[in-house]
Chains A and B, each alone.
Chain A
Amino acid sequence: MIRPGIRRLFHLPPPAGQVRPEDLDEEIRLHLELRAERLVQQGMPREEAWEEALRRFGPLDESRRALHDAARRREVRLGVREWLVGVRQDIRYAGRRLLRAPAFTTMAVLTLALGIGANTAIFSVVNTVLLRPVPYPALEELMVVWETDRVSGTSREPAAIQNFMDLREQNGSFSTLAAFVPLEMNFSANGAEPTRVPALAVTHDLLPMLGIRPLLGRPFTAEEDEAVGQMVLLGEHLWRRLGADPQVVGTTLRLNDVEHEVMGVVPDGAAFGMRQILSAADYGGAFAERDERAEVQLWVPLRPRATTLSRATHAAFQIGRLAPGVTVGAAAREMESLAAGLEALHRENTGRGSSVRRLADEVFGPVRPALMVLLGAVGLVLLIACANVANLLLARGAGRMQEIAVRSALGAQRRRLARLFLIETLMLSVSGALLGLAVAYVGLEQLARFAPADIPRIEQVGPDPLVLGATLALSVFMGIVFGLLPLLQSGCQDLDRALRSETGRGSTAGREKGRLRSGLVMAETALAIVLLVGAGLLVRSFWEIMRVDPGFTTEQVLKAEYQLPESRYPRDFSVWPAWTEVLAFQDALLEGARSLPGVRSVAIAGAHPLNAGFTNSFVIVGREAEASDWPEISVRQVTPGYFGTVGVTLLDGRTLEARDGSESPAVAVINQAARERFFPDQDPLGQRISFWGTDRAIVGVVGSEHTHGVTADAPPAVYVALSQAPSAQGTLLIRSEGDPVAHVRSVRSLVHEIDPGLAVFGIEPLSTTLARSVGQQRFLMVLLGLFALLAVVLAAIGVYGVLSYTVTQRTREIGIRMALGAPIRKVVWSAIAQSGGAAALGIVIGLAGAVLLSRLLSSFLYRVTTTDTMVLAGAPLLVALVAALAIYVPARRATQVDPAMALRSE
């Protein structure tokens, strides 16, 4: 209460105004009293004077309210200003403190960055792939209707067109049932070299059913299903590549040598889920089987006609939208009974049934488990990172006890202290988060590039504002939690004890904290073990996969695929196999390839060894009755050089040879799997196998190829000569000396020479194709391995940190003991024992946890049990080794303590 005059004299700042309601009333009351007194002095009676004073004042309550509000506003403003100044001070102080301890700060920020970065990356992927809304409205109503084959045991087959037409007509469960067929079309932009573009032939109602509206133009109409002229809808990406002409509707495009009228432009992402459906199918997946990032860019009308293909050919994928009120189960049951009806009517449908599955399950089902595992793994990594940072902070916090005590003694409120520490930890966690975001961004780019192509929407993965916001929020939360830690610690203790304890040596406070830190070390080690075991199992599993003999060799083999357009290579089934143009092309290609330098052997196959190709029903002449129980057999059309080029072993009889030409008797070669299945106690050689209207003599047995991927069983297969059974699509296989990649260009020019309008695609070493076929397993293994490694490194840092700190704190004690003659060993051992013990306990707990949790991985493992001994022994060994190293370094430091120095140091 300094008089204003004195304030002004000494240029003192005005105090922070605290106008409380009581003050306001007091001010007003004084005014009224003085007025009343003056009136009394002037002769007015007392009671009247008061009334008069009130009257003169004016509206009392109203003004009081107004004044209160004004005062309050001012108070708030001043309070805010003061707070901001305080915060700015704290930030500067905290920043200085952090910079003065660079080791601590770097380690904390880096640890947080790694933990947060990994989480952000994976969460971005999960968000884009699983959580983002799907381009189709009412996704839960969309179903995929598969055909099943009881005899082959398959459950996800495309349907025959005629079956589709019948089901479409007869069903009552679907408001719309549409179909699509995957294709690839040759397309050359402005006379450039032709490329293969993935396309879908769709029924007119597919796009409307999915809720996709074209950006330009319109979808196909029902009438166009009957029309003759060819039409196409452009994908947005392709349209932009061609110049994004707004007048594109009505122009024509040359596809597969045929003019197609452009009816409109379809937005990107319209083919959501189609790729996954094709991948999930047992066969017929076309471009999806090549596992490239190709997106559907062309949409042509599918004109279902009963006469196009036979009912034995299954090409169409069916999607339907449930009618209102119909459940999945009811739809499934109806489709099953309709399929049974068709089975009774048509011979080709023997053994064929129907199954209905949710589109969402087909698209997300394969990836969701893997992504969940990854999410769990990064969560564990983050926990370890947090434990580490907490440990670091506790170590630092101990060193601040004195500072806290002194500040408190000087009058700092607990709230201000809390704010100071909070700001420090917030600065740490936010910098960690920002660095982590950078890490995540880089990591995401790599991830998106190397991830398997059939993860839905993987190409859309990138930095995401939602994830960014979540990351920053998380970092703020973590900063607050960390900030409150040391205060929780010092909260319950008196100042006195804190002052005396100095840095917590030997006091109860120190011991408690030591226990907490050991506990953290134990937790870290346990979590690291869990991650390591998980990663180890996946590594073992992958190793097992790579050890499987696929039945063919991929070393030094290059493949190149092509599809001959009907316009120049007519496919008249009435004269098959006498397709002159196709045969001529095959011969020319083989000859040209043979003459390439460095080439050891060449072949053409209808489908390369990792392409499942197609199956067909067949009979063995003389055993026709058994045929109804038999699954369809894989038919492989190959040239004689095939077996040598890809290294399929001959087991019996002979392989196909040059003499098996179009004029010679029809022959076939079966594989070991076919022999075991169909000729268990009979010699197949000499038997006759019949399909495609021809009897063929079986002349040889070869080793089985794993054409369905390395992890699946090799299917029974029959090989026929391409010259006796030409195919309009094929793969050229070249075995050469040295790196197959060297021949890519020569193959391209070779094909160009033979047929300049033909697009060659999928040119790559067969080893690459093989590697990609196990892409998902490898992807998961690499990521999990990375996280496990990170976890081990972090845990090691944690162990090192604890012991290092203990040694530093106990320097004085060690010095005393040594001065008193105690053997160094004993002193150091007791320090080691604490952290070593914690680590050991952590390993044990971790192993137990790992055994429990690894059950979650069982669906990803191939020929490896969840309690694989090698992994369960190896993981703890690795962690123990790392922990031992982390302990050794500070322990050595401890033994080198100079007692004199130790006693002097404080």
Chain B
Amino acid sequence: MPESLALVKGTLDVLVLKALSWTPMHGFEITSWLEDRSNQTLELKDSALYQALYRMEERGLVSADWGVTENKRRARYYTLTPAGREHLEAETSIFLRYSQVVTGILTGSSGSPEGAR
């Protein structure tokens, strides 16, 4: 297993929203999806996940409803709302641009923009 990475602050929300953009899921499904997708690299505390979910529910980015799993157990399913979808798109593009810029700085040559002296 590759070394696990701690989650960068502020990215949990957008990751959860991404997960939900595929289909409504309950809490464990979201965790599993993220763990699979990241090849178990991301360290994710489940309690943090639920806090994020409740927070986003308050803000109206997701909505929740009780449903039934395949094994006939009662679970709370979270769904992406239109507002949430918008938020996801916006945050995604911001994050991608940011990481592009940071990557550029960190991997670029050490010279000044005007060329080396």
Flag whether A246 is at the interface (Cβ < 8 A): no
B98 within 8 A of A: no
B22 at interface (Cβ–Cβ under 8 A)? no
Interface residues in B50-106 (C-beta closer than 8 Å to A): 50-51, 54-55, 57-58, 63-68, 73-77, 79
Known contacts A31-B27, A59-B47; is A70 also within 8 Å of B55 by CB?
A: yes
Given contacts A27-B76, A63-B51, contact A74 B58 (CB under 8 A): yes
> How far does the alpha carbon of A5 sit from the alpha carbon of B68 in the complex, in Å?
12
Interface of A (DSSP majority class):
helix
Whether B51 and A67, one on each chain, are in contact in the complex, defined by CB atoms closer than 8 angstroms, is: yes
| A228 interfacial by beta-carbon distance below 8 Å | no
Indicate whether A73 sits within 8 Å of B28 (C-beta atoms), given known contacts A3-B67, A27-B75, A27-B76.
Answer: no
CA distance A3 to B47 in the complex (A): 25
Taking the closest CB of chain A, its distance from the CB of B60, in whole angstroms, is 10
Contact of B75 among A30, A56, A74 (CB under 8 A): A30
* Minimal Cβ-Cβ distance residue in A for B45: A58
B74 touches A26 (CB 8 A): yes
Contact (Cβ within 8 A) A4 B79: yes
Whose C-beta in chain A lies nearest to the C-beta of B79? Answer: A4
Tell me the residues in window 14-66 of chain B with beta carbons closer than 8 Å to chain A beta carbons.
24, 26-28, 31-32, 45-48, 50-51, 54-55, 57-58, 63-66
Given contacts A67-B51, A70-B54, A73-B58, contact A15 B65 (CB under 8 A): yes
Q: Is the CB of B57 within 8 A of A1?
A: no
- Contact assessment for B46 and A14 in the assembled complex, using a CB-CB cutoff below 8 Å: no
A residues less than 8 Å from B47 (CB atoms): 57-60, 62-63
- In the bound complex, how far is the Cα of B65 from the Cα of A31, in angstroms? 16
A683 at the interface (CB under 8 A from B): no
Q: Which of A4-37 contact B (CB under 8 A)?
A: 4-5, 7-8, 14-15, 17, 23, 26-28, 30-31, 34-35
Q: Which residues of B are found within 8 Å of A59, using beta-carbon distances?
A: 47
Query: Which bracket fits the contact residues of A?
Result: 20 to 34
Interface flag for A66 (CB, 8 Å): yes
Of B26, B54, B74, B77, chain A has the most CB atoms within 10 Å of the CB of B54
The yes or no answer to A71 lying at the interface (CB within 8 A) is yes
A2 on the B face (CB < 8 A): yes
**Known A57-B46, A58-B47, A70-B58: A14·B28 in contact at CB below 8 Å:** no
Q: A3-B67, A15-B65 are in contact. Are A30 and B45 (CB under 8 A)?
A: no
In the docked arrangement, what's the CA distance between A71 and B57, Å?
Answer: 9
Closest to A5 in B: B24
Whether B26 and A30, one on each chain, are in contact in the complex, defined by CB atoms closer than 8 angstroms, is yes
Which A residues lie within 8 Å of B58 (CB)?
70, 73-74
Taking CB atoms, residues of chain A closer than 8 Å to B63 are 4, 14
Q: Which residues of chain A have C-beta atoms less than 8 A from B76's C-beta?
A: 23, 27
Q: Which residues of B contact A26 (CB under 8 A)?
A: 74
User: Which of B24, B32, B74 is close to A4, meaning CB atoms less than 8 Å apart?
Assistant: B24
Query: Are A74 and B57 closer than 8 Å at their CB atoms?
Result: yes
Are A27 and B27 neighbours in the complex by a CB distance under 8 Å? yes
A585 and B63 alpha carbons, distance in the complex (Å): 100
CB neighbours of B79 from chain A (8 A): 4, 7-8
Residue of A nearest to B63 (CB): A14
Q: In the complex, what residues of B have CB within 8 A of residue A62's CB?
A: 47
Partner of A67, one of B50, B73, B74: B50
Nearest chain A CB to B74's CB is how many angstroms away? Answer: 7
- In the bound complex, residues from chain A placing their C-beta under 8 Å from that of B50 are 27-28, 31, 63, 67
Least CB distance from B98 to A in Å reads 27
B32 (CB) vs chain A CBs: closest residue:
A38
Per-position 1/0 for A61-101, Cβ under 8 A of B: 01100110011011000000000000000000000000000
* Min distance, Cβ B25 to any Cβ of chain A, angstroms: 10
Chain B hits for A31, CB < 8 A: 27-28, 31, 46, 50
Residues of B within 8 A of A30 (CB): 26-28, 73-75
Give the chain A neighbours of B68 by CB distance below 8 A. 1, 3
CA distance A4 to B68 in the complex (A): 10
CA distance A1 to B75 in the complex (A): 11
Q: Which residue of A lies closest to B24 (CB)?
A: A4
Closest to A26 in B: B74
Question: Closest Cβ of chain A: how far from B19's Cβ, in Å?
Answer: 14
Minimum-distance CB pairs A-B, first 3: A58-B47, A63-B47, A58-B45
23 CB contacts below 8 A, A to B, read A1-B66, A1-B68, A5-B24, A7-B79, A8-B79, A14-B63, A17-B57, A27-B26, A30-B28, A30-B73, A30-B74, A31-B27, A31-B31, A34-B28, A35-B31, A38-B32, A57-B46, A58-B45, A58-B47, A59-B47, A63-B51, A73-B58, A74-B57
